[in-house]
Amino acid sequence: MIPTDLRLDGTVALVTGGTRGIGRAIAEAYAAAGASVAVLARKQAELDETRAALEAIGVPALTVAGSAGDPDAIDAVTRACVEELGGLDILVNNAATNPAFGPMIETEAWAVDKVLEVNVVGPLLLAQAAWRLWMQEHGGAIVNIVSTGGLRPAPFIGIYNVSKAALAHMTRQLALELAPGVRVNAIAPGLVKTDMSRVLYESGEDAIAARHPMKRLGVPDDIAGLALFLAADVSSWMTGEVISVEGGMSL
């Protein structure tokens, strides 16, 4: 059972990249809390399965196929939220990409462009659309999924980390601009077991987990709980925060 002050009944949430990993866990947590949920992601088969799973929880759901960095897809999904689900109260900017693995100094220009398009420009365009279509008049909450890599440097995923640092700062900037009606916060996960992060842990999960004070890697549900808290009224006096969830690794 979801406690009353964590319920999202009567709200509409949009989760980008919501068919797998952290995004899927957040979409299901919001649905379980009573929100209608829209998902923007690229693969139609995954979207179909996700919509069926969300509707099985007992809430209205819709999906739109497209990239979170594509202005046309952003326009389509935000308008669908308002026109089909009746609003856009919660935006979760979760979708991200990282086509380059290695030293940032060697990252090719096309990879830089792609990372910034999806990880930085897309979240801004989504926030602008949500504000214009709904939140400016009705209020709301935005939750950005950044990364502990955006808070301190790490090897091999430099341009990805730079993009997440930009999204963390965007969180604070939008929190300042959109208050008091819209709260904007961010979650900075550490190493969470998802398809996207597999390359970082699959060759030595036990050894990496042992370096964490909590002695395990994260799983998507570890992030979803905080995302629910930040979307619900219980966090109504919080904005502009970037909260790390990383099993104590920074200790």
| Catalytic residue numbers, as ranges | 160
Do residues 239 and 176 touch, judged by C-beta distance below 8 A? no
Q: How far apart are CA 15 and CA 29, in angstroms?
A: 11
Measured CA to CA, the distance from residue 125 to residue 161 in angstroms comes to 20
* 75 vs 232: CA distance, rounded Å: 25
| Sheet architecture: strand order including 61-65 | 61-65, 36-41, 12-16, 90-93, 140-145, 182-189, 242-245
Is the previous residue joined to 180 through a cis bond, with omega within 30 degrees of 0?
yes
Tell me the two tokens of residue 82: 């308002």
CB 165 within 8 A of CB 150: yes
